[in-house]
Amino acid sequence: MVCIEKIYSVSALVGAGVCNANCSFCAGKYLRPQAKDNPIYWKNLEAAIKLSARYGGWSLSLTSSGEVTCDPDSLTKALRVYQKCANEGAYFPNVNLFTNGILFGEESFCNKYLDNWRELGLTNVAVSVHDVDEKKQAQVYNVKNYPRFEKIKENIEEHGLGMRCTLLLRKGGVDNSAKYESSVKTLLDKGLGNITSWPVGNPDGTKNEFTPSWFGLFGIKRWLNKNAKLCHGHSWGGGVYDYHGNILRITDYVTKHDPKKDFVRQLVVFQDGAVDYSWIKEGALCMK
What CA–CA distances, in Å, run from 24 to 21, 27, 159, 213? Answer: 10, 9, 33, 19
Domain ranges of the chain: 6-287
Q: Which numeric CATH code is attached to 6-287?
A: 3.20.20.70
Q: What is the pLDDT along the chain (288 residues), one digit of tens a residue?
A: 567 788 899 999 998 889 999 888 777 676 666 767 788 999 999 999 999 999 999 999 999 989 999 999 999 999 999 999 999 999 999 999 999 999 999 999 999 999 999 999 999 999 999 999 999 999 999 999 999 999 999 999 999 999 999 999 999 999 999 999 999 999 999 999 999 999 988 777 788 899 999 999 999 999 999 999 999 887 767 899 999 999 999 998 666 777 788 778 889 999 888 898 887 766 555 555
pTM for the whole structure: 0.92
Neighbours of 117 (CB within 10 A): 22
